[in-house]
Structure 1
Amino acid sequence: MRNCADGQLLTTDQEAAIRQQIDADRKTQQIDEIIRQKVRSGLNGNVLIAQKGIVLYKQSFGLGHFEKSQRDTLVEDSKFQLASLSKTFTAVGTLKLIQAGKLKFEDTIQKYYPDFPYHGITIRDLLCHRSGLPNYQYAFDDSMKVNFYKKEKPYPTNATIMHWFATVQPTPKAYNIPGRSFSYSNTNYMVLASIIEKATGLSYESFINKNIFEPLGMHQTFVATTKNDSINHHRTAGYQWNRRIPKDYYDDVVGDKGIYSTTGDLFRWYRALNGDCLLPRKMLAEAFIPRSFERKGAKNYGYGFRMMLNDMNQPEYIYHSGWWKGYNTMFWFSPKDEYVIIILGNRYNTTVYRVKELIDILHGGTNSSSSDADSEVEI
């Protein structure tokens, strides 16, 4: 049975015509040269680049595990921790609940967590990082970790962090007045995932799986908290150089990070975001409206998506990157020129974020608006 994302796949004749139209063979050769430069600079990961529905480039480079006892080569179905790229799923999941009338943009956190200490923060503020909330990873004294630790349950979950906020109240007030300015914080999306759980009665994992992964046929995509052993098939580990990074204390806190996926499934995600698969176009378009104008510049943030703007303050590019414990990720697409760049790495390497040369190739070598594409890519 074909799902919505598959419904956009091209026929053989359509693909042949488009390949000629976009000069696919030349672009593939040029892309290969750029990616192999990245590999020589340390890229260890998987790459998929497509335009107008045509996969121009799909390759794997390196290892999923570097230890001799586990040493394995990356394959097409290798699963990578998406890090902050996971926020795109949390945002769309939230918008689906708003569309269904189960949440409202103006709902405050206290509607779902009455004891949460910071007031006046709405779901809209959380979605576009205008809450002023401190980052939960740095908000609590180390004694919280010591007091929470139990041998049978050593890692906190979203519920734990929400409880900590309610009981400890780590700072007397948020960094900023809610809604006043943009301030990127992982706490926003941890809280959104927690609200999803309260509003639906489902775990974040179950909700996202039922409402996004399954309908789109993203069968290789999982939340880190899943107990399904299938996530371990081709699951990678994160590395700093060749040193494996062990499970992090906050690995089971999700919404801001925590989704594992493949380049193929993210291509499905891209097709869904550019079709009518998940939400009415009018609602999904809310995610791509710039909502941070405090500092002039091309970069901006919508609901779960970053963007670079053109001279008309419209999104020229939409993207999200990520970093978490050795993993680097980039998901970058152009609504106008209909291409997507997906790079997933599991050994820390900043070449993942450098996409300007790829953009120039996809624009036919004549584009000049990508001059800021490699500058200070945020995660």
Structure 2
Amino acid sequence: MKSFKSFPFQSLPFILLFFISFSFIACQNNGSTSETKPIDSVALKKEEARIKKEINADKKAALIEQIIQQKLKEGFNGNILVAQKGVIIYQNAFGFANFEDTLRNNLQSKFQLASLSKTFTAVAVMKLAEQGKLGLDFTVKDYYPNFPYDGITIRSLLCHRSGLPFYQYTFDKTVRQSKVYPTNQEIMTWFANAQPTPSRFNLPDHYFGYNNTNFAILAALVEKVTNKSFEAYMRESIFLPSGMKNTFVVTTKNDSININRTIGYQYGRRVAKDYYDDITGDKGVYSTLGDLLLWYKALRNNTLISKESFREMIMPRSFEFPGLRNYGYGFRLWVNAKQQTDYVYHTGWWKGYNTIMFFDPREDFVIILLSNRYNRTVYNIKQLIEVMHGGSSTMEESILDE
């Protein structure tokens, strides 16, 4: 099996890009401006048909439909999309966005991405690092002098090697007694003022320990160095440049987030607003299937950050325990025996929502499942991967449960 190192992250095939670029040629006839030539739709359709035949899209779609029907029998409620080489092979919406009002999910339904949101936070941090606004080797104390822990670099936050305590448990009594919905900046203040200082689990960079605190702090840092709310920065610098017009951070004041917004359900009940719902960076992004496909394309095409930065993000960072699972900067990784990245993904779970976005950079396919009624079949994608690989896979049945 080829490692990721041998795969040049590419966009659509050359011919498709040629026709798209050709449509923008103007300024002819001695400097006079002519009308922009339209994209050759016939050529585009021919190219799409060629790709579909090359990847055997129709057969894959039929097999995926069988897999999804089984998931429905096991309680799946949500949306799914599978695409390869710029062609959507399968997409569909199932079940209800709101069970009380019997509003059905549709392809425009917006789901809380839960920890899949971490991929956006990590890219935002890398973008700011490229711009020199944030240093990966700087510590949290460089930006928050009253932060009580030494030696916590931005890198250690990105790859969950900080050893910090979990904010959810550390301040659980505080939020429930005061009945407040804290912000990321308030969490930073709570860490600075807590007496005694909450004990950390490990010294920094000693062990991998998946921890939402890391990405809540990263979101606070984004706000600190940009002088903008996390929501505003993500909308202006990440979502809109990627074409993701239906993606929002939960704290947005834009009412359009409520259009096609789903409700989370778990154990047969609607999940009420949580005291930590307004903490973002570790969770809190709402998006659609279509926008997440655009997110995949933005990552693949280096729309937001350089190819070098993205390669750095998907390098495995933790080797204390041998195995095929690892973590980069904001992305979970499936590695081979040489500890090189074969697959890139992230899962999520938060208050009834569970999600996964999984992609293979070599074969250029992406699998996205979004559910607003907690169901473990979301993470069971081995059969889908086998379909995309033509019948074989070394993956375990369940990728990961948050």
TM-score (norm 1): 0.93
Separation in structure 2 between the aligned mates of residue 33 and residue 369 of structure 1, nearest angstrom = 21
Report the equivalent of 1:86: 117
Is the partner of 1:58 in helix, strand or coil? strand
CA offset at residue 378 of structure 1? 4.0
Q: 1:114 to 1:41 in 2, by over 3 A?
A: same
Cα drift, residue 237 of structure 1: 0.5
Q: Is the 8 A contact 1:306 1:320 kept in 2?
A: yes
SS in 2 for 1:215: helix
State the AA in 2 paired with 1:78.
S
> Which amino acid in the other structure matches residue 73 of structure 1?
R
Unpaired runs of 5+ residues, structure 2, are 1-10, 21-42
Distance 1:306 1:281 in 2: 18
The residue aligned with 1:289 is 315
RMSD (Å) for aligned C-alpha atoms:
1.8
Asked if structure 2 preserves the Cα contact closer than 8 Å seen for 1:139 and 1:170, the reply is: no
User: In the alignment, does 2:50 pair up with 1:24?
Assistant: no
1:116 to 144, 147, 155: 147
Q: Runs of 4 or more off by more than 4 Å in structure 1?
A: 5-10, 169-172
- Which residue of the partner structure matches residue 53 of structure 1? 86
Aligned positions of 1:250-265 closer than 5 A? 250-265=276-291
Match in the other structure for 2:375: 349
Paired with 2:159 and 2:210, the residues of 1 have a C-alpha distance of 8
Kept after mapping to 1: 8 A contact 2:111/2:287 = yes
2: CA distance, partners of 1:143 / 1:368:
47
The equivalent position to 1:321 in structure 2, one of 328, 341, 347, is 347
Q: Which residue identity is paired with 1:223? A: V
- Provide Cα deviations, 1:156-205, integer angstroms capped at 9, x if missing partner: 11111111111115645321010111111000000000001000101100
| 1:110-132 residue CA offsets vs partner (Å, 9 max, x unmatched) | 11111111111000000000000
Greater gyration radius: 2
CA 1:16/1:169 → structure 2, altered by over 3 Å: closer, same or farther? farther
In the alignment, residue 163 of structure 2 is paired with which amino acid?
G
2:302 aligned counterpart, secondary structure: coil
Contact 2:170–2:198 (Cα < 8 Å) also in 1: no
Partner SS state of residue 220, structure 1: coil
The Cα shift of 1:135 comes to 1.1
Structure-2 separation of matches of 1:191 and 1:282: 24
1:158–1:209 distance in 2 versus 1, CA, 3 Å: same
The equivalent residue for 2:270 is 244
Shift of 1:373: 5.2
Contact preservation (8 Å) 1:140, 1:170: no
Q: Residues 172 and 190 from structure 1, CA distance in 2 versus in 1: closer, same or farther, beyond 3 angstroms?
A: closer
Range 186-195 or range 277-286, more displaced? 277-286
Alignment deviations for residues 15-59 of structure 1 (CA, whole Å, 9 cap, x no partner): 111111111101000000001110111000000001111101010
Aligned twin of 2:33: none
Name 2:182's counterpart in structure 1.
156
Distance 2:379 2:241 in 1: 30
Report SS of the residue matched to 1:11: helix
Is 1:44–1:347's contact at 8 Å kept on the other side of the alignment? yes
Q: What is the CA-CA distance between 1:12 and the residue it aligns to?
A: 1.4
Letter in 2 for 1:374: S
Q: Give the structure, 1 or 2, with the largest relative contact order (CA under 8 Å, sep 6 or more).
A: 1
Q: Give the alignment of 1:63-212 within 5 angstroms.
A: 63-67=96-100, 70-140=101-171, 142-147=173-178, 149=179, 154-169=180-195, 171-212=197-238
1:369 counterpart = 2:394: yes
Shift of 1:144: 4.8
Query: 1:31–1:214: structure 2 CA closer, same or farther, 3 Å change rule?
Result: same
For residues 188-226 of structure 1, what are the alpha-carbon distances to aligned partners after superposition, in whole Å with 9 as ceiling and x for unaligned? 000000001000101100111111111111011000000
TM score, norm. by length of structure 2? 0.88
